[in-house]
């Protein structure tokens, strides 16, 4: 069981690392689509959004993160599998956290100042989350 979980975590890390490499090669106008199955598009992550998530969010919000609280709050790899009310609620939460400047937490920024989201990064993530939220609600 632990071996399977560990292997899954490695696959997720490699997935996001390869997306970052593609982002650098293809440019921000390209989009990576994450699929629940072969026919249903749930979320699309523009490469510039994926870059921010990879560089500034996944350290705490992924299956292999240390903190249980951050893993319970949001795991980006699980977000792609959510649908309906669960997806709407989680995207709404992302927008709220961005609006209130709660992420990354002050203690994280004190320890790792480079993790602070710039105004442009906040705006880009918020725009993506709002657009995805509207799509999830059928608007």
User: Tens of pLDDT along 83-110?
Assistant: 888 888 989 999 999 999 999 999 989 9
Q: pTM of the prediction?
A: 0.67
Q: How many residues does the chain have?
A: 139
**pLDDT at residue 19 above 90?**
no
* Rounded Cα–Cα distance for residues 69 and 71 (Å): 5
pLDDT at 12: 47
- Using DSSP's 3-state secondary structure scheme, residue 49 falls into helix
Q: How far apart (Å, rounded) are the C-alpha atoms in residues 18 and 136? A: 26
30-39, 93-102, 125-134: which has the minimum mean pLDDT?
30-39
More confident residue, 77 or 133: 133
- Contact assessment for residue 65 and residue 77, using Cβ atoms and an 8 Å cutoff: no
Q: Domain boundaries in the chain?
A: 2-136
Provide the pLDDT confidence category of residue 139 given band limits of 50, 70 and 90: low
What's the Cα-to-Cα distance from 21 to each of 34, 48, 82, 93, 129, rounded to whole Å?
Answer: 16, 12, 26, 29, 23
């Amino acid at each position: 069981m632990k071996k399977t979980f560990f292997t899954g975590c490695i696959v997720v890390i490699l997935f996001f690392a390869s997306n970052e490499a593609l982002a650098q090669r293809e440019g921000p106008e390209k989009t990576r689509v994450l699929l629940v199955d072969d026919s249903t598009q749930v979320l699309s992550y523009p490469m510039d959004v994926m870059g921010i998530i990879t560089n500034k969010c996944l350290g705490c919000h992924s299956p292999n993160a240390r903190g249980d609280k951050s893993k319970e709050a949001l795991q980006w790899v699980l977000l792609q599998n959510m649908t309906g009310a669960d997806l709407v609620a989680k995207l709404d939460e992302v927008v709220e956290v961005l609006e209130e400047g709660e992420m990354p937490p002050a203690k994280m920024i004190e320890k790792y100042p480079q993790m602070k989201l710039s105004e442009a990064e906040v705006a880009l993530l918020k725009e993506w989350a709002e657009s995805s939220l509207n799509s999830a609600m059928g608007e």
